Chains A and B, each alone.
Chain A
Amino acid sequence: MIKLSPTKKRTLFFVALGWALLLIGDRIGELLQYQGSFVAMYALAIASIILLTGYSGQLSLGHSALMAVGAYAGALSINNLNLHPAIALVIATFVAGIFGLILGFGVARLSGPYLAGTTLALAVSLPTLANQFPILGGEQGVVFDVGAPPARFGEDFSMYKWFFWISTLAVLIMLWLISNVVSSRYGRTFRAIRDNETAAALSGLNTGRLKVLAFAISSGMAGLAGGLLVMLISGVSPSAFPLSLSFSLLTGAVVTGVYSLKGVMLGGLVLVAIPEIADSIVTRIGGSEGFTATLPGFLVSALLILAVLFTPNGPGTLLHSFKKHN
């Protein structure tokens, strides 16, 4: 038997997962490909919340705004600089990351309520700011077009499959990078800060700088997710990033369990499934326009409350306590 280091094992896992997803992508219909792309995008966005909340103890309600930053940065690089979509996504990541870094110097060191409230204010105010700049296209926004799939993939290669490839590939690469970060020295120090900031500071860690760093990394991840989101809806506008998006991501994170990145795909699935479930409830029992429009929000919120109440540390703990009871 060949013994592998944890890092190599992880890399192998991601390669295998990517391979499996590509094979699956070949065998599913266009709707599933499209939904799968959303699952991957949400999983990344949820991972960015988990990195911040679960690994460094900060609560952000502003990730919808950070996603918007990445999305606009990506759109502008394609539209105005004629850059390749892949490079545009990298730029989306970095611009959001740098934005998060700058913002982080101001706010990341704030504790619970202040960070939550400040990022909430960001989420509310940033999209309206987008209306101020003509280059961002006001309420209509700007298009985000990754172009048709390369001709060498053949004529059968659909746009949806192309979205699926880009999304899963980008998300897997990013998650692979992040999983390396959290299992590294940095990840351990993040957790140390979360569990006991005073003790971490006493043992010589620069907790302020590490919190800013965590905020910046998380912002970069959100930026990439934002870029992917607007690729999937083919345009970026302020209304694509409502406050409720931040709440959904938080729900996804709490449902997945904020202390581990392992379940982010589950969180992504839940977020994609909720509107579908709401739809099927409405078709089955009917209901007013208001009911139809607010049901998804209701389900997300109810799930959030139930998760906080019953599985505050993730579904893993529920399973654990279930085993204990039996």
Chain B
Amino acid sequence: MTLIVESLVIDHGAIRAINAVSFKVPTGKLTAVIGANGAGKTTLLRGLSGLKEIKSGSATWNGESIVGQRPENLARAGIMHVSDGKSVIAELSVKENLALTGLWRKDKKDVALATEEVVSLFPILGERMSQSGGSLSGGERQMLAIGRALVARPKLLLLDEPSLGLAPLIIDQIFTTIRKFVTTMNLTVVLVEQNAMGALAIADEGVVLNLGRVVGVDTAENLLNDPAVRTAYLGY
């Protein structure tokens, strides 16, 4: 169970947002993709989840190509993308938001179980069940978005900037929880982050993107200690 990306090219309008990007994501590991604003991180995830057309190159999950597949089919195959901007449907209740990924699953007992697990992971969601998604705080929305993905029992989780716009305390809480469920659920996670320090601190592996190209691949630990990475992305 590995995600293998090879010489991937994705255009964003007239701009080549992802240019010949290659990397591997090992199973059961948390891989952080870091880079400055505009490095192409979000476009990369949107390409992997089928939202954005892949121009050329290959991307395989468990040996099967995910290029050209529809997002809903990839989601059903276990690739869950939590897009940025706290992807919660404001008009639906918390309960309904969580139910979306269980709608098409046959095993309704497991859906109920997975929902319970999510609530124990993010207890605040349990208290807000009947509230509308729009009434939640930024942190709660992020928890709901991640929780919704987990209800599907994904194999590969693509997280886009979960720390965006959140208070440091909440970021810590969310990052700790992410680390926790990667270990307990044997999930493979690609975490895209501008907050390089926080992301590398919880990640196993790291990929550094710059202007649509991979400029570094290593273990998270090595990247944290790499002087070049430190000056460019960690700011010390």
**In the complex, is A directly touching B at CB under 8 Å?**
no
